[in-house]
Chain A
Amino acid sequence: MAYSFPEEVLEHVFSFIHTDKDRNAISVVCKSWYEVERWSRRRIFIGNCYAVSPGIVIRRFPELRSVALKGKPHFADFNLVPEGWGGNVYPWIAAMAMAYPMLEELRLKRMVVTDESLELISRSFKNFKVLVLSSCEGFSTDGLAAIAANCRNLRELDLRESEVDDFSGHWLTHFPDSCTSLVSLNISCLASEVSFSALERLVGRCPSLRTLRLNRAVPLDRLPNLLRRAPQLVELGTGAYSAEHRPEVFSSLAGAFANCKELKSLSGFWDVVPDYLPAVYPACSGITSLNLSYATIQSPDLIKLVTQCQNLQRLWVLDYIEDGGLDALAASCKDLQELRVFPSEPYDMEGNVALTEQGLVSVSEGCPKLHSVLYFCRQMTNAALVSIAKNRPNMTRFRLCIIEPRTRDYQTLEPLDVGFGAIVEHCKELQRLSLSGLLTDRVFEYIGTHAKKLEMLSVAFAGDGDLGLHHVLSGCESLRKLEIRDCPFGDKALLANAAKLETMRSLWMSSCSVSFGACKLLGQKMPRLNVEVMDEGGRPDSRPESCSVEKLYIYRSVAGPRSDMPRFVWTMKTLS
């Protein structure tokens, strides 16, 4: 070519390209595009903080404004990853404090965030706007105070489901009177009472506030005042939703809800007293997202509320809703896209509610847009799964948890292979799947054959042997994350599909039958994989190589083995 586009033009064009996938694609077209792209990238998502180092990121992308990082493996949510495993964000903050003084957004998931990190954030980034800490831990309200006090342009502070050392609610008063920029505040995971007057004043002086998720400690009679100061709210999480029944409190609350004409999302509802639920009815017609997953109310009250929300797109609810409630949902909420049903008594041996596979079948029949499901129940049949699959070929996320491991089809007493097979066969766009119930290698054969778009698979107490794992690793072309626990999968499938592992983000296997010897071999053969063995019983090489390892976490990385492994994590490098 005699000439090419001036860089400025390329840059301008690239400014319209936003998604990571597209950005990654244009960056490999040619060297000059690579250069222009890397200088113009403002936003990055790193799905595994150990896949790359801060240094590498900073070297390649010198002008980032928004960084998203994920730390621990997903099974850490269920206490399968011991304390101290890693995922500490401090090294990243320290490096970025030097490299990105203009950093605006930080979104962290399953990472360890210390107060030191929060303080460093609050001091280092003058234009810091967004802090989202999702399922994080390691910090206290002292760190939050630093953020509140120093981040003068703070727009979002979202602590969703993080574990916070909650010393007191005093930190909220550290927001200066000059702070008027808040758009989103989510403190629902905090236990302590915040100063209500400070909260009211904060809410009152932030005219752009769209999202307010309160914590349980905010009593119901405080809610009307807050709502009156923020009638523009789009997303509200209530505090405790109970009070003695007093007509003046009720009418004040109902009036406040009626005044919030933009409300689209409701959550909270701890300790619900059904008498107060009608107060939200005025807002129901606009509601698209309803999280009642902490609301311990019975089916009739749930039905009354849910059937008011004709425009509902997302519902999270406890299994108190029962099959009858799901029937009503299916009849009323034709726009429903996502349903999550959580168990009210997950550890009871017997069921406590009349929620069965039938409820899910009803919703799959009645809601044509339903594509995302998380369902905890105690019984299932292949026939029901086949129905669901045929009803909803548009399903993209299907997570079924039959509470008792290895439960059979209760009508035919067969495994549920055929049912899940139907799901993967009919739902050609399926991206995420979680299995449960009694499953043989057959289900993995179906998955390997049909689930070509599947990106994440969760398996527990399933399969007969290595063939099952082999089907998945060799057949699922789009697989990025595979997590397996308590399955009889061993060395053969893993070693035979070693190359596949470099195309995935990560593989987790715990309580399976992978030997230490196989892990060693894999670590030696595949330098771009970090093969981490977790064993709290001591050095794995102190036992015969044929012994199974407790936990195995394999992930691709360009940064080599990490330097912050605790005593119970070994890689093949540390053992040689």
Chain B
Amino acid sequence: MERASDKISSASSSTISSESEKSTALNLRETELRLGLPGSESPERKPQLGVSLFGKDLEDKTNGYSLGSLKGFVSGAKRGFSDAIDGSGKWVFSVNGGSEVDLGKGAVLFSPRGGNGVKPLGGLDNNSAQKSCMPGPAMKDVAAPSSPKPVQEKKPQASAANEHASAPAAKAQVVGWPPIRSFRKNTMASSAKNNEDAEGKSGLGCLYVKVSMDGAPYLRKVDLKTYCNYMELSSALEKMFSCFTIGQCGSHGLPGRDGLTESHLMDLLHGSEYVLTYEDKDGDWMLVGDVPWEMFTESCKRLRIMKGSEAIGLGLSVILRKEKCIRASCLFKAFQT
């Protein structure tokens, strides 16, 4: 599954940027965001976060420029990179030894499930993980000590890959548990995929995305098509998870282009307990409110109501992005001509 292969761990983002450097002659490295702790091994997500945020930067500041082609460029770079490393057995999610710890630390910045430690963000490609162990060992440290030992699945990859793709849960997956027949697993997995593909297609009438909230026992599903703007979404979610607040967004109203201004954002981060984030089609976690509503509904795959403290990493990235926007837009103009 392409998503999984995109998420293959990379040692550094410099390769991405050098590829894109070659193709665009832009110095993107400066604007790339590195959110790991200094000296830590980059978990798989970070370089991509950097690259895609950059892509979104450009979209933000350049009204009228179609994000599509730019994102294509960005994604193309990503995919090229992952293709390049696909062959070798090196770039697998679970790394050995001490770097598991780094992975855990890095992941905390992104994963709202901070307490749970390592979360395989965006799912695993079990194909590439055949040689390595599953994230079991890391999980085991944080999970209950009586957790069953994770065993590699020997069965054809399809079901295993589907399992992972459909369930970015932090638990080590035990072979054959819960006891569900492969036929059912495969069918449900391809159901989920079809639903994802189908989302956004007009005529099917619904755009269900999952909403989770840190600490709440259940996920919910909302149909994004039933809302017209962030305000409606926010109040609906508020009702659903009644202790949730999207901060000042609702009360201050929204500026013309449906985006949160920087000051609102700062209020949000410092003031309220919870922050609304979403996972976009590239698997990156973004703060809700950055992009026009229609763009949001097209790219939102799931929503997460994150604790404010854990969203600081994201918030920081937004602030940094805002600062870099100016620089990026200059670069972008250069790119355009």
Contact = CB atoms under 8 A, between A and B. Distances in A.
A401 B179 contact: yes
Interface in A45-95: 75, 77-80, 82-83
Interface in A338-378: 342-354, 376
Contact of B219 (A244, A245, A350, A486): A350
Contacts of A345: 166-167, 219
B221 interface: yes
A242 B204 contact: yes
A347 B167 contact: yes
A351 B210 CA distance: 12
A485 B148 CA distance: 10
A346 B205 contact: no
A298 B183 CA distance: 22
B181 interface: yes
A75 B177 CA distance: 11
Interface stretch (B23-31, B42-50, B188-196, B313-321): B188-196
A401 B146 contact: no
Nearest to A351: B218
B217 A77 contact: no
A77 B182 contact: yes
Given A82-B154, A245-B203, A348-B169, A75 B191 contact: no
Contacts of A511: 148-149
A350 B169 CA distance: 8
B187 A461 contact: no
A528 interface: no
B209 interface: no
Given A342-B180, A401-B178, A403-B178, A347 B148 contact: no
Contacts of A163: 182-183
Interface in B80-135: 116
Interface string B141-155: 000101111000111
Contacts of A135: 181, 183
A403 to B, nearest CB: 5
Contacts of A347: 163, 166-167, 169, 171, 173
Interface centre among B149, B198, B217 (most CB of A within 10 A): B217
A343 B159 CA distance: 16
B252 interface: no
Contacts of B170: 349
Interface in A242-265: 242, 244-245
Given A351-B217, A486-B148, A77 B204 contact: no
A354 B221 CA distance: 12
B176 A75 contact: yes
A417 B199 CA distance: 45
B234 interface: no
B22 interface: no
A109 to B, nearest CB: 12
B205 A245 contact: yes
Instruction: Bin chain B's interface residue count.
Output: 35 or more
A277 B166 CA distance: 26
A200 interface: no
Contacts of B173: 347
Contact of A79 (B167, B175, B191, B219): B175
Nearest to A404: B171
A466 interface: no
Nearest to A295: B191
Contacts of B210: 352
A354 B169 contact: no
Contacts of A406: 144, 146
Contacts of A538: none
Contact of A294 (B179, B181, B191): B191
Contacts of A458: 179
B219 A351 contact: yes
A275 interface: yes
B200 to A, nearest CB: 14
Contact of B221 (A79, A82, A189, A298): A298
A344 B167 CA distance: 11
A354 B240 CA distance: 13
Interface centre among B180, B184, B212 (most CB of A within 10 A): B180
B176 A78 contact: yes
A460 B144 CA distance: 17
A163 B185 CA distance: 13
Nearest to B179: A78
Interface in A312-361: 342-354
Nearest to A270: B191
B197 to A, nearest CB: 10
A271 B193 CA distance: 10
A198 B174 CA distance: 44
B168 to A, nearest CB: 9
B191 A296 contact: yes
B219 A352 contact: yes
Contacts of A293: 184
Interface of B: 116, 144, 146-149, 153-155, 159, 163, 166-167, 169-171, 173-185, 187-188, 191, 194-195, 198, 203-205, 210, 212, 216-221
Interface of A: 75, 77-80, 82-83, 135, 161, 163, 189, 242, 244-245, 270-271, 273, 275, 293-294, 296, 298, 342-354, 376, 401, 403, 405-406, 434, 458, 460-461, 485-486, 511, 536
Shortest 5 CB-CB contacts between residues of A and residues of B:
A347-B167, A78-B176, A352-B219, A244-B203, A349-B169
11 contacts: A78-B176, A79-B175, A242-B198, A244-B203, A270-B191, A347-B173, A348-B219, A352-B221, A434-B179, A458-B179, A486-B148
